[in-house]
Amino acid sequence: MTLYLSLGTNLGDKEHNLLFAVRKIEERIGRRVSLSSFYATAPWGFTSANGFLNAVLCVETTFLPLEILRITQEIEREMGRTRKSVDGVYTDRVIDIDLLFCLESDGTLVVQNTPELTLPHPLMLQRDFVMKPLAEIAPDTIKPAIGAVG
């Protein structure tokens, strides 16, 4: 399966945080296919004096989406994230790892809608900090995902 993840950080050494998260994802989830440039962005959905650094990572994996979610949340906790955003209330964070969408080996889009996880990510189209780095590394691949959420 091909997996696209959004990474963001607005606390501490932001470049280090992103690179550390990428390394942990490679170790625990799968082989890196591509990594976007790092984009400096303003906070989305809340006010903060701390700007963000964002990127999109593509990996090949054999894990199922809920397993990937568990692993990414574990990585977030290990990096110092103490709580996730709930009900649209966002806060500063050392790292945020969101699953954007997955494609089966035949290119079929994985669609999932559970209390724990919705794929494709339902807010990705509203977030330039996701769409710009995603368009950089997967300009042709995002079309099926956009159709599923748009």
Q: What is the rounded distance in angstroms from the CA atom of residue 52 to the CA atom of residue 58?
A: 20
pTM higher than 0.85 for the full model?
A: yes
Going residue by residue through the chain (150 aa), what tens digit of pLDDT does each one get? 999 999 999 999 999 999 999 999 999 999 999 999 999 998 877 788 899 999 999 999 999 999 999 999 999 999 997 766 555 567 788 999 999 999 999 988 999 999 999 999 888 887 888 899 999 999 887 665 555 555
d(CA 80, CA 111): 30
Phi, psi of 129, deg, nearest 5 = -70, -10
The bridge status of strand 118-119 relative to strand 96-103 is unpaired
DSSP letter for 126, please.
G
For residues 129 and 18, the answer to whether their CB atoms sit within 8 Å is no
In sequence order, the 6+-apart residues with CB closer than 8 A to the CB of 140 are none
